[in-house]
A and B are shown apart, each in its own frame.
Chain A
Amino acid sequence: GQNIDQPTEMTATEGAIVQINCTYQTSGFNGLFWYQQHAGEAPTFLSYNVLDGLEEKGRFSSFLSRSKGYSYLLLKELQMKDSASYLCAVRPLSNQKVTFGTGTKLQVIP
């Protein structure tokens, strides 16, 4: 099975940088997703990491260490609209089912 752990809530200041961590234990591993979900809305895809290292997409970057079972999402130059829940999800090897963490609710304050 899979076990995914991420902080429940975080608060950060507008313009700052925040790092949201995710650790996982899985019986097989293909890759790790990050999704953003605003309150009352559907999750939207941010990134999918398969290989170790950092992938950057504008203000958002995602890092993966397969050997450590660890990932983080880095948000730079925070904006108020970044207030949302951030979901970490793992796709096991050769399996269609993705397992989601419980999400980290990020609040950006002025």
Chain B
Amino acid sequence: DVKVTQSSRYLVKRTGEKVFLECVQDMDHENMFWYRQDPGLGLRLIYFSYDVKMKEKGDIPEGYSVSREKKERFSLILESASTNQTSMYLCASRSRGTDTQYFGPGTRLTVL
């Protein structure tokens, strides 16, 4: 079974803090994704990576950065958290040449 794990299920941070969200997958997938999910807006792609050290902007990259130093790990970074970044963050991975994305359990981030 594919397993995608995220470092925290719930996180509370203060405005201006630097926040790291970690995602690890154990299936040697090349592609990894970060989404945020908000009521009425659905899942929106923040960044994705198709290989180590490679990254591409998704639809809403502003205020975020990412790091992919190892194949199994994809980190999402909020340089200076703001209240409008309060959301559910979902990581996903996919093997190159296949179609299905496998999602992690999500991190519910609250920025006060």
Contact = CB atoms under 8 A, between A and B. Distances in A.
Contacts of B42: 87, 100-103
Interface stretch (B14-22, B43-51, B63-71, B72-80): B43-51
Contacts of B35: 100
A38 to B, nearest CB: 11
A92 interface: no
Contacts of B31: 96
Given A42-B106, A101-B42, A102-B42, A31 B48 contact: no
B109 interface: no
A98 B106 contact: no
Interface of A: 30-31, 33, 40-45, 48, 87, 89, 91, 96-103
B108 to A, nearest CB: 8
Interchain residue pairs A-B with the least CB separation, the first 10: A42-B103, A102-B42, A100-B43, A100-B42, A45-B100, A43-B103, A42-B105, A48-B99, A42-B106, A103-B42
A100 B105 CA distance: 17
Contacts of B101: 45, 98
